[in-house]
Structure 1
Amino acid sequence: MPIRQSDLLNSSVNRSFAGQSRPRVGQLTAFLSHSHQDALLALGLQEMLKKAGWDVYIDWQDTTMPATPDGETAFNIKVAIVRADWFLFLATQNSMASRWCPWEIGFADGKKAHDRIAIIPTADNQGNFYGNEYLNLYSSIDVAQHASGLALFDTRGNGTWVHNL
């Protein structure tokens, strides 16, 4: 079941404002591929995953990134993708139309273990669903039915609570 974008927005509004910190030893890390037009959705997902014990990298929170995207930006993104334990793709109308997001998932596909790439499908308020283009290729992180919390589902539909990964 896709994550409702309204739930991500609510999580963004209710997020803790603790500053960026370095990941703790043993803490899972993830690179979040998303459209910058979906900044609030990205913050909401970051907060949800933070509550599950993850540290999520968002490029525009990185003070070492150039102000205007260029070759250095691409290099820094490559390094961040390789360094993270997971690659996550926040599927929205904006990310599907982005020039950067498909490039990022293509790069991750060549560098990360297949089971370390996950799609986060979303549904907007009009009932439009995003992420189905990739769901048969990669695992997905969704809201678990009949429970509250995020779960990782492999391509066969087997689920594991995100906080147990």
Structure 2
Amino acid sequence: MSKSGKNAAFLQKLRLWMIILCVIGVALSIYALYVEISKESDQNYRAMCDISESISCSRVFTSRYGRGFGIIGSILGEDHPLNQPNSIPGIIFYSIVLILGENTSLTAAKIQKSLLFISNFMSLYLAYLLYYVLHDFCVVCVSTYVVNFLLTVCAFWRVSTLQAKYSDSKKNS
């Protein structure tokens, strides 16, 4: 198989993995939203991810850090329309990453890579809050951090493969 054929096959595999990871990210975000809404409407609700007192996703999702990343409510007020559950920007984020993954241009791949790189800083911030501020472990949250990391690795491979592909096509023209 030629180098361009290998690159195309690798890009297809990356695309599939990124689709799977984005779907997992959306599913985790939807579940987080469901848990938060359920817990807010029924204090006795117990989510599947509420394993113990120190391993409780519903406690994390209903904390002040579960909305607006703990930042927007402090600045604009808890009742501000932008102070939404963190899962809503998560659903939007994974959808954007998925859409960018369907575009084969190098520019779209670089934008996707940048967004995913930034998402890892958000994951670090939220992990800090989870462990050091809330003293909790949230299975759903940590799962999204892993999804963000894996998507970022895929995005870096995607950009480098596309750059090599475009570099090869310029040499051959």
TM range, smaller chain: under 0.3
* The structure with more strand, counted as a fraction of residues: 1
Q: Per chain length, whose mean CA-contact separation is higher, i.e. which structure has more relative contact order (CA < 8 Å, sep 6+)?
A: 2
* The structure with more helix, counted as a fraction of residues: 2
Normalising by structure 1, we get a TM-score of 0.25
- When Rg is computed on C-alpha atoms for both structures, the one with the higher figure is 2
Normalising by structure 2, we get a TM-score of 0.24
